[in-house]
């Protein structure tokens, strides 16, 4: 049980939940207008396995490369806490990376190529010489490209082809892509706000360091608000199913997000971390709302 607990913490649970919900929702969106068939479940399960392994590969590699800075910013993580060795962490990273590539290749070479590109960006995010995470622009671009564009468009087309031999791209997915891209930029900027001490010591060029915590928060809130408004406008224009449901729920979620951000004490690192996890909760909620909207 202890080993399972360590692996769970190493996988960064909030990202695992986000990946699981995104895969399940994209499966629902790809099936929109079609009858449910139990024969479709193996494709879903293998795709979910690929997504989770890819997630652990990226988050695990990130922890493996940044043990020194995590000793300051996140000392509770398995490697800096001494619960997992760097060798053990790398064994996990290599194992899940191989599983992701092999399982995706089993489904299709195109899907394997998509996973390879995602893993390549994740590697460049953490490892030198590129190490995108050292610059807030490169970090935001890589996170939003993966979570916002490649996952939503790529997995949607993958499901359409696997289930119905239709690889066409439908515009109904565009509002979700815009929203998740906006949210991913927020993730990239918000996650660094409480970590300024360690990031400054190891010369990380985060937005919170270059512009200050307040400006980083304001910039992230502006981008995320645009994402919410894009869904509301799309629903008003009847570009999405269940428009009234999406308008009301997104207006409420936007109000909650702005309320949380406006009351955040930027001098309290614990409060900032709570805000960040609540922000991930709103990310989870978005996929749930989309799945419900396409189910009515």
Residue 126 has pLDDT above 90, yes or no: yes
Lowest mean pLDDT among 51-65, 104-118, 175-189, 191-205: 191-205
Q: What band does 199 get if pLDDT is binned at 50, 70 and 90? A: low
Main-chain dihedrals φ then ψ at residue 16, nearest 5 degrees? -65, -45
Strand-pair partners of 205: 135
Q: What band does 271 get if pLDDT is binned at 50, 70 and 90? A: very high
Residue 202 has pLDDT above 70, yes or no: no
Residues 6+ positions from 58 with CB-CB distance below 8 Å = 118, 119, 122, 123, 125, 126, 146
- pTM score, whole prediction: 0.93
Secondary structure letter of residue 130 according to DSSP: T
Calculate mean pLDDT across residues 97-122.
Answer: 98
What is the CB-side half-sphere exposure of residue 185 using CA atoms within 13 A?
A: 20
Residues 6+ positions from 183 with CB-CB distance below 8 Å = 147, 148, 224, 227, 282, 283, 286
214: helix, coil or strand?
helix
Nearest to 178 by CA among 118, 218, 230: 230
Range of the domain at 289: 2-293
Across the chain, mean pLDDT equals 92
Domain count, the chain: 1
What is the CB-side half-sphere exposure of residue 290 using CA atoms within 13 A?
A: 30
Q: What band does 143 get if pLDDT is binned at 50, 70 and 90? A: very high
Say if residues 286 and 179 touch (Cβ distance below 8 Å).
yes
**Token duo for residue 280:** 């991930």
165: helix, coil or strand?
coil
Measured CA to CA, the distance from residue 192 to residue 97 in angstroms comes to 26
Residue 48 has pLDDT above 90, yes or no: yes
Measured CA to CA, the distance from residue 234 to residue 171 in angstroms comes to 11
What's the CATH number where 176 sits?
A: 1.10.357.140
Length of the chain: 296
Residues 6+ positions from 117 with CB-CB distance below 8 Å = 150
CB-neighbour burial class of residue 250 (10 A; exposed 0-12, middle 13-18, buried 19+): buried
Measured CA to CA, the distance from residue 156 to residue 27 in angstroms comes to 7
Digit-coded pLDDT (tens) for 17-26:
999 999 999 9
Return the pLDDT at 117. 98
Strand-pair partners of 135: 205
Return the pLDDT at 100. 98
Strand-pair partners of 58: none
Residue 190 has pLDDT above 80, yes or no: yes
Tracing tokens 């960006």 back to the chain, one arrives at 121
Residue 258 has pLDDT above 90, yes or no: yes
Residue 160 has pLDDT above 90, yes or no: yes
Nearest to 199 by CA among 70, 15, 86: 70
Measured CA to CA, the distance from residue 8 to residue 16 in angstroms comes to 9
Lowest mean pLDDT among 46-60, 70-84, 108-122, 149-163: 70-84
More confident residue, 168 or 284: 284
Q: What band does 37 get if pLDDT is binned at 50, 70 and 90? A: confident
Say if residues 111 and 163 touch (Cβ distance below 8 Å).
no
């Amino acid at each position: 049980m202890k080993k399972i607990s360590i692996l769970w913490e190493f996988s960064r649970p909030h990202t695992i939940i986000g990946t699981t919900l995104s895969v399940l929702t994209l499966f629902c969106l790809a099936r929109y207008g079609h009858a449910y068939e139990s024969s479709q479940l193996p494709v879903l399960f293998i795709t979910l396995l690929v997504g989770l392994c890819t997630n652990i590969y990226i988050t695990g590699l990130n922890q493996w490369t940044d043990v020194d800075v995590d000793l300051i910013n996140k000392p509770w993580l398995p490697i800096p806490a001494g619960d997992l060795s760097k060798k053990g962490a790398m064994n996990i990273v290599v194992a899940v990376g191989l599983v992701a590539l092999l399982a995706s290749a089993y489904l299709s070479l195109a899907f394997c190529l998509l996973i390879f590109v995602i893993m390549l960006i994740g590697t460049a995010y953490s490892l030198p010489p590129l190490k995108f995470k050292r610059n807030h622009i490169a970090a935001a671009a890589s996170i939003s490209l993966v979570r916002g564009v490649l996952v939503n468009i790529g997995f949607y087309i993958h499901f359409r082809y696997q289930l119905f031999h239709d690889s066409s791209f439908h515009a109904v997915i565009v509002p979700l892509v815009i929203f998740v891209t906006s949210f991913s930029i927020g993730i990239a900027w918000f996650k660094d706000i409480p970590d300024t001490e360690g990031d400054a010591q190891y010369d990380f060029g985060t937005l919170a360091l270059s512009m200050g915590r307040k400006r980083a928060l304001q910039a992230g809130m502006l981008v995320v608000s645009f994402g919410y408004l894009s869904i509301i406008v799309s629903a008003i224009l009847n570009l999405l199913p269940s428009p009234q449901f999406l308008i009301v729920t997104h207006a409420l979620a936007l109000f909650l997000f702005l309320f949380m951000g406006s009351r955040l004490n930027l001098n309290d690192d614990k409060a900032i971390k709570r805000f960040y996890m609540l922000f991930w909760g709103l990310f989870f909620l978005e996929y749930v709302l989309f799945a419900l909207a396409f189910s009515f």
